[in-house]
Chains A and B, each alone.
Chain A
Amino acid sequence: MHPMTRQKLLPYSFLLPALAITGVVIIYPVFQTLILSIQNYVLYAPDEARYIGLQNFQKLLKDEVFWISLSHSVIWVTSIVVLQLLLGLGSALLLNQSFWWRGVARALVIVPWALPSVIIGLIWTWIYDYNVGVLNDLLLRAHLIDQPVAWLSHPQTSFAAIMLTLVWQGFPFFAVMILAGLQTVPQELYEAARIDGATAFRQFWHVTLPSIAGIMATAVLLRIIWVANSLDIILVMTGGGPGYATYTLPLYAFLRAYSEMEFGYAAALALVMTLLLLGIVFLYVRRQAKELA
């Protein structure tokens, strides 16, 4: 081969193994999902699968559970990400102050982030337990409730209970990211602000916030995508119940595939969900790609 051609092909040969594997495990499945979504594919009768056009999508628009799941997902993602961000921002600002055990505090705050979702679901199911759960015990001792609450089996409380679990899992991510951002704010800016007589709040508003806005935006976009896609904690804690009280879009798609074996319809649900998220993904990717390109 001509040496120039070889030189030109060299980078592609470095990429080839990664491209080959992702082609098989990601690109091919995405196209399969597209094809499945226009079929009435049911796992136990794959030979009867036929092309049915957009019927799955028409069915979806009339599917009450789809709309319930979608509205849950919107509430779910917005509240969880906002709460995670506020709690994470507060933690980061505190952990950026100086006190003698700061190093230990910074290390320990990330523990929830490291845990597997199954364990998180398990721990919190145990905490929320109706009969011998520690949450009921604490609230009873504090006289905040008169009798034990069945947190995970009441439609009114189960959704909020799982949201609290997700907030707990995700706020360390924000704390750590924002803390990293805070450490890059030049001290001179604060000194200049102080000389100008700015109060602590005005320093925060005019110096700190603008400096960490970029990293906060990146973290929020990334987190929206993660929370919107996540279904394992709900699956472990309630499986979507009671009734449809804790159904979200990815969970519904998964259950239609896993429990009902309706792969065609589930694929259509997964596709709609991906399309709804695409805007956020686009914003995130545009931010990140600018950095490394």
Chain B
Amino acid sequence: MRAYQKTALRFLLIELPVLVILVFALAPFVWMLLTSVKPNADLSIFPVRYWPSEFTADHFKMLWQRTSFFHNWLNSLLIATGAVIVGLSVSIPAAYAFSRFKFAGRNMFLTGFLVINMFPVVLLIIPLFVLMRHLGLIDTFIGVIIGHSTFSIPFSIWMLVSYFNAIPQDLDEAAVIDGASRLQTIRLVVLPLIMPGVVTTAIYVFITSWNEYLYAMMLSGDKVRPVTVALQLFIGEFTVQWGLLTAGGALIALPVTLLFLVIQKRLVGGLTAGAVKS
């Protein structure tokens, strides 16, 4: 009897509220997925039909056949990959230096990278657009990728410094005593150990770049337009075609949601490393 009461109480006070929160968090997302597989007839009736009368792939087919969506999807893939490569290749050495060297200006630079990450997009985007136009980089992959390094580099440096700091310096020193050069130490000792951190940072930068809208909108045109911008243009073009729009939304959101679920635990570790440790 008491065990039964305890279970009931836990359900009422904990599991039920958690369920309500989860429904709130997930319902809009699920609603998008459901809409994307409903026939058009279901979408234009009121009161709303919640469960599809039949499941259809028509909206996805139309995206494939009648729009540039898959081209845009590939553009997004290229841009996000580029943002990861550019971001990490300059951030890994920088984060290593912050973690392992003492040098004049260290704190100033480290703080600087934090401050610039807080700058509003609107502060940077206007001159960046003017600059890219001067350099002829509007509507090029390199232009959008460089635009995305405004957030990928500062963010990566801060994440990676906390991962580097988590590796004891004794390991570096032991390697040096064994006769390894600094580069060998980095390559054979330090890098393998922070690989999980590098992967987490890479995935987060990928997601952020994939999701990004404002820089992409300002710096891209027909040639390199990513999915987020393309979808927003569809909203203008196909005002009432909710099936098509949600199908596009699903194809944009699913990959990054899965990636996010993969890294979430380690990401939280990195984000909170500074704040939580006593």
**In the bound complex, do residue A184 and residue B276 qualify as a contact, i.e. CB atoms below 8 Å apart?**
yes
Q: Would you give the shortest CB distance from B100 to chain A, in whole angstroms?
A: 8
| Nearest opposing residue in chain A for B256, CB measure | A114
> Which of B18, B24, B268 has a CB less than 8 Å from the CB of A176?
B268
Kindly list chain A residues whose C-beta atoms are within 8 Å of the C-beta of B113. Answer: 18, 22
Interface-forming stretch among B9-17, B52-60, B172-180, B194-202? B9-17
| Nearest opposing residue in chain A for B97, CB measure | A14
- Taking the complex as formed, is B121 at the interface, i.e. its CB lies under 8 A from any CB of chain A? yes
Kindly list chain B residues whose C-beta atoms are within 8 Å of the C-beta of A29. Answer: 123-128, 131
- Taking the complex as formed, is B147 at the interface, i.e. its CB lies under 8 A from any CB of chain A? yes
Q: Would you give the shortest CB distance from B133 to chain A, in whole angstroms?
A: 9
- Taking the complex as formed, is B272 at the interface, i.e. its CB lies under 8 A from any CB of chain A? yes
* Distance of A258 Cα from B214 Cα, bound (Å): 11
- Taking the complex as formed, is A141 at the interface, i.e. its CB lies under 8 A from any CB of chain B? yes
Kindly list chain A residues whose C-beta atoms are within 8 Å of the C-beta of B3. Answer: none
**In the bound complex, do residue B124 and residue A26 qualify as a contact, i.e. CB atoms below 8 Å apart?**
yes
- Taking the complex as formed, is B68 at the interface, i.e. its CB lies under 8 A from any CB of chain A? no
Kindly list chain B residues whose C-beta atoms are within 8 Å of the C-beta of A115. Answer: 29, 211, 253, 256-257
Contact string, A168-180, partner B, CB cutoff 8 A, digits 1/0?
Answer: 1001100011001
Kindly list chain B residues whose C-beta atoms are within 8 Å of the C-beta of A91. Answer: 18, 21
Query: With A114-B260, A132-B46 in contact, is A119–B253 under 8 Å at CB?
Result: yes
**In the bound complex, do residue A109 and residue B21 qualify as a contact, i.e. CB atoms below 8 Å apart?**
yes
- Taking the complex as formed, is A75 at the interface, i.e. its CB lies under 8 A from any CB of chain B? no
* Distance of A32 Cα from B125 Cα, bound (Å): 11
* Distance of A218 Cα from B46 Cα, bound (Å): 45
**In the bound complex, do residue A270 and residue B120 qualify as a contact, i.e. CB atoms below 8 Å apart?**
yes
Kindly list chain A residues whose C-beta atoms are within 8 Å of the C-beta of B214. Answer: 231-232, 254
**In the bound complex, do residue B122 and residue A25 qualify as a contact, i.e. CB atoms below 8 Å apart?**
no
Q: Is the interface of A mostly helix, strand, loop or mixed?
A: helix
- Taking the complex as formed, is A28 at the interface, i.e. its CB lies under 8 A from any CB of chain B? yes
Q: Would you give the shortest CB distance from B264 to chain A, in whole angstroms?
A: 6
Q: Would you give the shortest CB distance from B29 to chain A, in whole angstroms?
A: 6
**In the bound complex, do residue B101 and residue A18 qualify as a contact, i.e. CB atoms below 8 Å apart?**
no
Q: Would you give the shortest CB distance from B1 to chain A, in whole angstroms?
A: 21
* Distance of A108 Cα from B48 Cα, bound (Å): 26
**In the bound complex, do residue B260 and residue A113 qualify as a contact, i.e. CB atoms below 8 Å apart?**
yes
**In the bound complex, do residue B94 and residue A116 qualify as a contact, i.e. CB atoms below 8 Å apart?**
no
Most buried by A among B242, B261, B276: B276
The B-contacting residues of A in range 257-293, CB under 8 angstroms, are 257-258, 263, 266-267, 269-271, 273-274, 277, 281, 284-285, 287-289, 291-293
Q: Would you give the shortest CB distance from A181 to chain B, in whole angstroms?
A: 6
Q: Would you give the shortest CB distance from B183 to chain A, in whole angstroms?
A: 11
Most buried by A among B43, B89, B260, B278: B260
Contact string, B97-115, partner A, CB cutoff 8 A, digits 1/0?
Answer: 1100101001101110111
* Distance of A285 Cα from B260 Cα, bound (Å): 26
Q: Would you give the shortest CB distance from A209 to chain B, in whole angstroms?
A: 16
* Distance of A254 Cα from B259 Cα, bound (Å): 31
Contact string, A15-46, partner B, CB cutoff 8 A, digits 1/0?
Answer: 10111011011111110110010000000000
**In the bound complex, do residue A270 and residue B257 qualify as a contact, i.e. CB atoms below 8 Å apart?**
no
- Taking the complex as formed, is B169 at the interface, i.e. its CB lies under 8 A from any CB of chain A? no
> Which of A108, A110, A293 has a CB less than 8 Å from the CB of B107?
A293
**In the bound complex, do residue A99 and residue B256 qualify as a contact, i.e. CB atoms below 8 Å apart?**
no
Kindly list chain A residues whose C-beta atoms are within 8 Å of the C-beta of B90. Answer: 17-18, 21
Kindly list chain B residues whose C-beta atoms are within 8 Å of the C-beta of A22. Answer: 113, 116, 149-150, 153-154
Known: A33-B126, A126-B245, A291-B273. 11 other contacts (CB 8 A): A10-B101, A18-B93, A18-B153, A97-B10, A114-B261, A116-B210, A117-B211, A133-B48, A172-B25, A229-B121, A285-B118
9 A-B pairs closest in CB distance: A32-B127, A114-B260, A291-B274, A116-B211, A14-B97, A11-B101, A29-B127, A17-B90, A18-B94
Sample (9) of A-B pairs whose CB atoms are under 8 Å apart = A18-B94, A36-B127, A113-B260, A115-B211, A116-B228, A180-B268, A254-B122, A263-B126, A281-B118
